[in-house]
Amino acid sequence: MEPAVEPAMEPHTITVARALELPALRRGLPEVMAAADRLHRPVRWVHAGEVPNIADLLKGGELLLTTGLGLGGRPAEQRAFVRRLAERDIAALVVELGSRLPTLPAAVVDTARSCGLPLVQLHREVPFVAVTEEIHTELVNEHYALLRRAEDVHRRCTEVLLGGGGVPEVLRLFADFTANPVFLQTPEGRLLYAAGPSPAPPSAAEPLQVWGGLPAAGLPGSVAVDVPGQGPAARARLSVPPVNAPLAPVHRIAAERAAGLLAVVLLQARQEEELAARGRGDFLTDLAEGRLEVADAPAQARVLGFRPGPGPLLPVVTRPADGLVPADGWSALAGAVRKELTAVGAPVLVGVRLPEGRVPLLVGLRGEDEREAVAARVATALRAGAARAGLRPPVVVVGATATWATAGAELRHAAEAAEAASAASADRPWHDARHLAVDVLLWRLRSRGDEELGAFVDRVIGPLLAHDRESRPALLPTLETYLACAGRKAETARELHVNRQTLYDRLGRIARLLGADLEDPGTALAVGLALRARHHVGGRGRGGVDGPLPPLPRGYPTRSGQSGGRVG
């Protein structure tokens, strides 16, 4: 069997060879019986054990100490024992000879050689606890040394930034540390910046030449870490291929720390508008959650540039239709929305709330009578701003007019209504929070994990949902239209574009499926609620009807803000 090519180890990494040189093992008079060319393998940990299934307890990289009790008495058992250890990729097998095992069985030695597993026999008894303690102490010391070197690089990068440097300076410093070219790229793979070590090693290629010649999969042994953004997606990627010198664990640790600094630098370039919008969003959140003295609110709003007249305030909350904004999209969204709102013709205070993924606003009205017109203009501006930022049309909810004393409660209700409206989504330019009271109630039940809502949908309209999945024509639209028309059959038939006999047939089938009289007021109320509730359980019932409920909506708002972030 050809020996595998081992990656180069950092000079101070604990290897099998170094472990054998330590006093505790050296006193055992170690003799290498197999794979002497692989003693440079790194030792991750030390383990002692005597059971036949010891391989199942290992993770790889261990130096296994044993007296041979678990080897088994037959050659087949011994070969299987060694093969399982090799498959676990342990660093080495060390067997202490003695009265129980005077010599190593030939099956053990031959199998270790064929598998390329370093096999060492100890001719003298040694306390395994002393070996374990000694090697573990070395491992801890080496890990601490790695952390110190990585910390030193992090400190130097920080000093570069504090001295006025930026991404290029940090990358050049890191390239000097690794003695290799360093690349910063987008998550999609587009090169943003390349830096090489200075002075360059003899015959080293320019960084851009290296980038052009790199295979798509990268080089084995490369270090690559994500530069975090504002959300779950990475903002960029830092990569170091080992073209001039091998890379060690310390280089990965240092790269991860450098990535954190780069994230801060990359965000600064587009942060001004977003920071201002987040400050306004925090103010509106404090107002909504009652953390702000109402008497202080007008003055703080003026500091933020909001100077409404003596008329009422109009709270508005908008959120993306899918609840998500790309990590680098909030700055663009905040800027675009603010520009569009200049055409509204009324004072507007607009903020962003990243934790909940919302954009809260307060609009100053001259009078109650202009609520509808201003709400329509604000909704148009918000949708246009989202489009300019490359997002889908958002859900816009307009609350009831308020004073400074009631604006917080109305903002909180509008935030809840925005979640409810997105669950019960209807394609409208904007929703009136006053008309969503039932949806807000149903959404609260769903958000608090109350499984009764899904069960209620199943009990009331489950058979109808099951029918529509398997049969045509679907009867659900007929029922929804019938209830929307308040049970007026002629009007329902016109809305559905069917004749009255067809409508009667469908209503009869619905009544039989549900086992209920649709003309009974109590039945109509229960069915209407179930139809609205199904939007808040993902358009489905529970269990056997349509499967399990979807995850809870993000950012459920409360006064304490403990369920999903602060409202606003």
Q: State whether 262 and 277 are in the same domain.
A: no
Q: What is the 3-state secondary structure (H, E, C) of 54-73?
A: HHHHCCCCEEEEECCCCCCC
Mean pLDDT of the chain: 80
CA distances from 220 to 6, 14, 163, 224, 282 (A): 11, 22, 35, 11, 47
The region, left, alpha or beta by phi > 0 then psi within -120 to 50, assigned to residue 136 is alpha
Q: State whether 296 and 437 are in the same domain.
A: yes
In a domain, 485, yes or no: yes
Q: State whether 230 and 118 are in the same domain.
A: no
The parent domain of residue 285 ranges over: 272-445
pTM, whole model, 2 decimals? 0.44
In a domain, 546, yes or no: no
| Residues in contact with 268: Cβ distance below 8 Å, sequence separation at least 6, in sequence order | none
Backbone angles phi, psi at 280, to 5 degrees: -70, -35
Residue 53: how many other CB atoms lie within 10 Å: 10
**Quick one: pLDDT at residue 15?**
86
Q: State whether 315 and 435 are in the same domain.
A: yes
In a domain, 211, yes or no: no
In a domain, 360, yes or no: yes
Identify whether the C-beta of residue 246 lies closer than 8 Å to the C-beta of residue 268.
no
Tell me the per-residue pLDDT of 53-97, one tens digit each, with 9 for 90 and over: 888 888 888 899 999 888 888 999 999 999 999 998 999 999 999
Final residue belonging to a domain, choices 399, 423, 445: 445
Question: Number of structural domains, the chain?
Answer: 4
Most confident of 85-99, 187-201, 203-217, 526-540: 85-99
Tell me the per-residue pLDDT of 269-327, one tens digit each, with 9 for 90 and over: 554 466 567 778 888 988 999 887 888 888 878 867 788 999 999 999 998 876 567 65
Final residue belonging to a domain, choices 70, 91, 126: 126
- CA 343 to chain centroid: 37
**Quick one: pLDDT at residue 543?**
37
Residue by residue, DSSP assigns 492-515 as HHHHHT--HHHHHHHHHHHHHHHT
Given a cut of 50, whether residue 556 has pLDDT beyond it is no
- Lowest-confidence region among 198-212, 331-345, 467-481: 198-212
Q: What is the CATH number of the domain that holds 426?
A: 3.30.70
In a domain, 117, yes or no: yes
In a domain, 137, yes or no: no
Final residue belonging to a domain, choices 405, 424, 445: 445
Q: What is the CATH number of the domain that holds 465?
A: 1.10.10.2840
In a domain, 90, yes or no: yes
In a domain, 343, yes or no: yes
